[in-house]
Amino acid sequence: MEKFPEHFLWGAASSGPQLEGASDMHGKAPTVWDHWFQTEPERFYQQIGPQKVSDFYTNYKTDILTMRDIGFNSYRTSISWARLLPDGKNVNEKAVYFYRDVFTRLKDNGVKPIINLFHFDMPLYLHEKGGWENRDIVQDFGYYAKTAFDCFGDLVEDWVTFNEPIVPIEMGYLNDKHLPAIVDLKRAFQAGFHTILSHAQAVKVFKENYYKGKIGIILNLTPSYPRSADPVDLKAANWADILFNRSFLDPAVHGTFPVELKEFMQEEQIILNCRAEDFTLIKQHKIDFLGVNYYQPRRVQAGEKGVNGEVLQNYFTPYKWPNAKMNPHRGWEIYEKGLYDIALRIRDEYLNIPWYVAENGIGVEGEEQYLNMSGEVQDDYRIEFVENHLRWLQKGIKEGSNCYGYHVWTFIDNWSWLNEYKNRYGLIRLDLETMDRHKKKSAYWFAELAKENALPDKWVK
């Protein structure tokens, strides 16, 4: 049995808007998701909105005990900006009480809190002022970050500025899955720039005020594999990598943007509203650690100009690898070696910065079909998925990559953007009718994994 490094982090990730519920209680202001569900509920699968979701707000005391029981020594979630600062200026004391009790109980039960500041849940009042397109949000985010550090800095030592910051840009400005639900590449670039600038501003606030601990960012890194060794396919893969991985990874770790982005912007006539000091801010405020979310690879081939009028298709188009192993429930490719490739790339190209797997998991629709006579989900597919990824991660660590933890997505089945509870990801099954929680087979397996700090050679429950 080969051990993972000493003090390896084992746990799960989630987020405030997907787990907490109580979205209209105790002074919380509405977010874009509250607003969107109220105005267009038909866009949401099952018409389940963000009001209650998995009701962690009510059940957190027992949920934290369950985390302890299944071996977690760490857990990542996010603070709700709209709950902590309902009007953007004044602190909601009920939010402070709630989060302080959550973080205290996590620590008392041996679970390190890793706390993220932003997980797609823009307060509505900021969205109505232009959201990430409005430069004022940089200072707004810095103020929010300082408020969080002041309120919880004695309990939290691992801070994250953003989870998957490219997702609201891609889903909100290149398709209609997030608000503002428009297709406009130039506005996407401006919103993305203000996002990375807000990240740097939060890092600056953290460092200049000497809060204890460390601060990082979580990125969804998706290795881009070309269809072939043909130069046009290789070039396509490089463009996909620059736009969807390096556009946030390079400034966060190196403090600079890929030089090819300037070429892209000139070609597409994109002019950013920016100042010279913005790039100094980014250059001087780099992260202490990196979180990596990995679910599937991106396979691409040479672009085709003029296809559907979509600009990015000039640079690359999707390619379906005929040998791909697929998750039939989600339609996503399962490629475990991608995690190893990420590990070596961080080692070789990103200063071997300390990093951890911040999300990895498999979503399955209709998990009720896997219930046994005792009412326990027999999710052997989830155990196999995690185990195979961990074997590749372990290989990367043995070869020198500085990875210090693994978080599965997720702890309890939780709400997802527009898809609600269609795909279940949790180690714990949530009964939507009663809100009862039930351990799946994978929860017992994960407990054994964490206890031994090693993959079981053979595991029998």
Q: What are phi and psi of 429, to 5 degrees?
A: -80, 135
User: Alpha carbon 141 to chain centroid distance?
Assistant: 18
Closest by alpha carbon to 164, among 146, 178, 144?
178
Amino acid identity, residue 143? Y
DSSP string, 234-260: HHHHHHHHIIIIIHHHHHHHTSS--HH
Q: CA separation (Å) from 211 to 24, 75, 146, 147, 283? A: 31, 20, 10, 12, 20
Q: What angle do CA 372, 374, 375 make, to 5 degrees?
A: 70
| Active-site option among 133, 164, 336, 420 | 164
Alpha helices in 268-310 (DSSP H): 276-284
Closest by alpha carbon to 70, among 446, 388, 413, 437?
446
Amino acid identity, residue 24? D
Active site residue 6: no
d(CA 370, CA 329): 13
| Active-site option among 170, 333, 359, 420 | 359
Q: What angle do CA 247, 147, 110 make, to 5 degrees?
A: 85
Q: What is the H or E stretch that residue 391 is in?
A: helix 380-398
d(CA 309, CA 234): 23
Task: Tell the burial category of 27 from Cβ atoms under 10 Å away from its Cβ (0-12, 13-18, 19+).
Answer: middle
**65 C-beta neighbours (distance < 10 Å), count:** 11
Active site residue 170: no
In a 3-state reduction of DSSP, which class is residue 110? coil
Catalytic residues: 164, 359
